[in-house]
Amino acid sequence: MYDSPTICLLLAILLEVCLQSAPSISRWIARVYCGSCYVADQIPILASSLKVLSVVDDFAKYAKITRQLQQLKEQSSAHDRRVWKCSLWVLVPLYVILVLVSIRYAVLMRTMVAFRLPVNLVSPIGAVLAFPAGGEEGTVSMWWWLAASRHILRTGVSAIRGG
């Protein structure tokens, strides 16, 4: 149904998408696990009410709102630290799994030939392109094919993101 270069290219695309979205996935899981921070919604409300008050005229009210605002900021930063720690507990194993899968497929595909090109087209670097597979000159090993595909994918993703 599918030939091995197509399968490897699809796996490379899948791994690249997972690597690009791993931080977002880990932050989302951490926010679900640690819960949302209602405190973050209260900070702008208190800050806007603080701007309306005069320090001289309403000192007691101003001081009370200032203390509340400081407490909310401390709670928000503590919540952000918990979310950060939770996201690390998700992100690190995810990266380890992705690296192990990448190594596994690189080892499995090291002897496979992706495709053959005319010898005169690749004559100066034909032996390099056939290197891990050990094929004759004019073949491109899966190793080089995956490396080129991942580079093209990363370039495309960074171009789409605008960076």
Per-residue pLDDT of the chain (163 residues; tens, 9 = 90+): 555 656 666 766 777 677 777 777 777 777 777 766 677 778 888 888 888 888 888 888 989 989 999 998 888 888 888 878 877 887 788 778 777 777 777 777 777 787 888 888 888 888 888 877 777 788 888 778 878 877 887 788 778 877 5
Provide the whole-model pTM: 0.56
pLDDT of the residue at 92: 84
Question: Are 145 and 5 in contact, with CB atoms under 8 Å apart?
Answer: yes
Compute the distance between CA of residue 134 and CA of residue 141 in angstroms, rounded to an integer: 8
pLDDT of the residue at 37: 65
pLDDT of the residue at 95: 78
Helices marked H in the chain: 4-34, 39-52, 59-108, 126-129, 142-161
Residue 116 pairs in a beta bridge with: 139
pLDDT of the residue at 67: 93
